[in-house]
Structure 1
């Protein structure tokens, strides 16, 4: 069969078909017409409302006994060493025990936002080791996501697994950027010297 034959066969099959009027399209269960423009606007608004960019897709797994550590360029070695040793005062704490990945994602994002808004420089996130999970594929799931999420947040300058007395392998110290307000205050103090 050549292209001309196919086209004429198609034309014969669709002869007499009339397009439906827009008001005749019903996709809802109760016969209500679907307002596609309203649905599109709602989808755009929902996307804009969720400014949380933290991934909830696949993440590289870490072992329950792995040490988590990360330092952005510009963080001084001495500052990172003090963070690692737990020598900074912890100003805020987030506990993620008994949370799902989705819950943890929302809580971590909001926690970091709150820390930045309140000029918090050092916090601790308790994620647990995840070694008591019966399914080996689910072990250290929250810990694995924490390792990814904290790297993806611009306001996190560094993080390191906590000292034993602060939760050890089940917690992480987090060092945040200075807020603009804190930078200005430090600059003003330096000018007065």
Structure 2
């Protein structure tokens, strides 16, 4: 009896030259990824003996739905009003983007967590998540509502706001992220040098 795998391999053999598809990176950072990021993820996976995505802290429970035309806005205590205003007005360079179109809620949940952590590791301070407005859908603004629910749960997120029209308007969100520990240490050392 021939297995499905054998049948598939036979069918591929009849097609001649078959080459694997080249996959695009899901998260494109303007800054180059560092080898340390890959090593960190490998260590974390091997230490837990589970895929990292299974350790997702983002709540998959009740999500309060927002209207497709409502702006998303959030600011942690301690974030200066001027910084938040500049974020809201799109004045910061967007160093990383994540597009959630055609994602299921669970895939989006995993993608958001991984994206935010990758951004912090790569010292990205301002990122853009495109989720769409979800207008005219059976469940309007579902991904938008989920993003609004998930981002405040992540310690790395300082603030977020719906984007300006040129970056996707109400279908996208600017995200302001904490500095990585390495970047914080560099700033501290630089500040100490200046004060000497």
Which bracket does the TM-score occupy, shorter chain normalised?
0.7 to 0.9
In the TM superposition, 1:138-157 aligns within 5 A as 138-157=139-158
- The answer to whether the 8 A contact 2:53-2:110 is kept is no
State the Cα RMSD in Å: 1.7
In the TM superposition, 1:34-53 aligns within 5 A as 50-53=54-57
Residue 116, structure 1, aligned to residue 120, structure 2: yes
- Per the alignment, residue 132 of structure 1 pairs with 136
- Runs (4+) off by over 4 Å: 44-49
Residue 73, structure 1, aligned to residue 77, structure 2: yes
- Per the alignment, residue 4 of structure 1 pairs with none
Q: Name the stretch that deviates more: 48-57 or 181-190.
A: 48-57
Residue 191, structure 1, aligned to residue 192, structure 2: yes
- Per the alignment, residue 66 of structure 2 pairs with 62
Unaligned runs of 5+ in 1: 1-43
| CA–CA distance in structure 2, aligned partners of residues 50 and 148 of structure 1 | 19
Aligned residues: 147
Normalised TM-score (structure 2): 0.71
- Per the alignment, residue 97 of structure 1 pairs with 101
Give deviations 1:47-69, integer Å, cap 9, x for gaps.
98722011222200000000100
Give deviations 1:91-114, integer Å, cap 9, x for gaps.
100000111101101100110111
Relative distance call for 1:172 and 1:49 in structure 2 (3 A) is closer
User: Alpha-carbon deviation of 1:132?
Assistant: 2.9
- Per the alignment, residue 178 of structure 1 pairs with 179
Normalised TM-score (structure 1): 0.72
